[in-house]
Structures are given as structure tokens and as C-alpha cells.
Copies of this chain bind each other. A is one copy, B any other.
């Protein structure tokens, strides 16, 4: 088969479409003929050498895929060759085939196209595990999403609105903010021209914040929280160490959590995928929540996709088609 390999840590040019040994489904795993993968910011870090795959994971990049079941390994029940699926991966999605623990598979929901489904597993599991399972966003609560126009952001808007919450988003230009509004976001904040803390406070403060900036926004995020607020940090695009005002946190009875999906043990991923399938997938089947795909690029040209994500301006996800 072919896969994208990383010849050495570096820029997009180190991503090479290469002939590699075929993937093999071990016990409890399913072998998927990959239709598409999708690009995550973590892939860019992995390419640069900053985010090595966890032990046991494929060394090729790619944290999600869609495709067709080719084979099921020993002991796998519930999946058959020919099933159209998408999957949360610890790596290896940028390839023609990938072996994945059966618990990380999801059916392609309803009317969603097979290629587009490649852009769902990471955002679905990230948003659901953090905003719903961890922070328990309530009806009428206010969710603030930084990077509202990104893959996670565009998905979080739809999920939060489906749950009856209000949504504020930040983004860097008005065009993409408008598109966030079309997805249902109630409060649109251009971080280049507006103070998100002041705007969110005018609306009573945020009950939950989903943040990708880390240190740079830590103080502001705590300021933007309301009583009982929950800040969840899932990215550190603005640095890793920040000053925490514990007195402010205490007065608000608020909390700060930081999480990632990839390094979790299989049983935690399985629990998240199961809850996503049970509670979120019906919303996707109905079309209430839909994948937001910016563009589809041939997988062999993954470097171009990385350049595009790095340049900014992407709305939603970039999908990598394995066969073009």
C-alpha cells in the first residue's frame, strides 16, 4: 500500500507518498480500506517532530479516516467487510489502509458522504468528550469557542446549539465569523478588533470555554468565565505556561481542565466513541450536525493541505482523499 511518510522532521515538503508494507489487522482490530483522512493541527506538530505517536501507534500521520471495512481481526464482532465506516485513530490515517481497534469505529451516519465522514471522528470525539461528557454544558448555558471557524469550532457550534445552549465564537475575520453565524453561533467576536472578555461579560459570562490558545488566553479566559464556569484547554497555540489567578477562580468557583484525545488508553477512547455513537450520531443522522469541509485534496499531496492549514483561513476541515 501507499502511505504518507515523514522523511525527517520539517516543513510540508517532508511528507512523501511512499510504498510501505501493508497494514495488518491484529486481534480486536479492523482493517479499513481508507477512502479519506482529514488534517488535524496535531499532524503539523507530528510532522515537525514535536508530537511523536504514542507507543504502539502507526508512525504515519492521520488521526481519523473514513472508508470500507476490508477485513475483521480475531474476536471482532459487530463489523463486516463492506461496512462503510469512519474511525478515530492514534495515527496511520494518511494511508491506503489502516488497522484500527474495533471500539474506535463508527458507522458513516445517514446522508453523510463517505469522503466527508473522514472529517468527523476527531471533532466529534473532541467536542463531545470535553463539552458534553466533561463540562456537561447545560441548556441555556453560554459556550465560548475560540477558533470558531476551525474544525473543532464549526462542530462545537452545531453541537452546542443542538443541545439548546448559546454559543459565542472568536475568529480573525468577519467573513468567517458570518459563516459561524450561519452555523448557529449567537455571538460573533473578531479577536483582532474586539475584546472577547468584555463582549462575553456583556452576555453574562461564559459557562464553558473551549480553548486552543493555552497560556496566551489563560488570564482572559478566567476573566470571561461566569460563576461555576469551566475552562477546557485542548490546544496550546499561545504557549504552555501562564499565570493563574487562583483568587479569581475561587470567587467564581470555576475550574480549568486540559485534555487530549490521542494519548488516552483504548478503554477511554472506546467509552467516548460509544457515547458519541449513542447520543451525537442521531443528531448527525438527522442533519442537525453536519461535517464542515473546506476542501478535498489528494492524500498524495498532503503537504499542500498542511500549508493551507498553517496559512489560516480554512473554514472547517481539510479532507485528504486516498484515491484521486
Contacts and interface: CB of A to CB of B under 8 A. Distances in A.
Given A251-B263, A263-B251, A246 B257 contact: no
A247 B257 contact: no
A247 B256 contact: no
Interface in A48-66: none
A281 to B, nearest CB: 24
Interface stretch (A4-12, A86-94, A109-117, A237-245): A237-245
Interface in A88-143: none
A85 interface: no
A247 B254 contact: no
Nearest to A261: B253
The residue among A214, A218, A250 with the most chain B CB atoms within 10 A of its own CB is: A250
Nearest to A253: B259
Nearest to A252: B258
A31 interface: no
Contacts of A243: 241-244
A255 B244 CA distance: 13
Contacts of A247: 214, 236, 240-241
B249 A258 contact: yes
Contacts of A236: 246-247, 250
A221 to B, nearest CB: 11
Contacts of A256: 244, 249, 255-257
Interface in A204-242: 214-215, 218, 233-234, 236, 239-242
A151 to B, nearest CB: 18
Contacts of A258: 246, 249-250, 253-255
A260 interface: yes
23 contacts: A215-B246, A218-B244, A218-B246, A233-B246, A234-B250, A236-B247, A236-B250, A240-B245, A240-B247, A241-B243, A241-B245, A242-B244, A243-B244, A244-B244, A249-B257, A249-B258, A251-B260, A253-B259, A253-B263, A253-B264, A254-B257, A254-B258, A255-B255
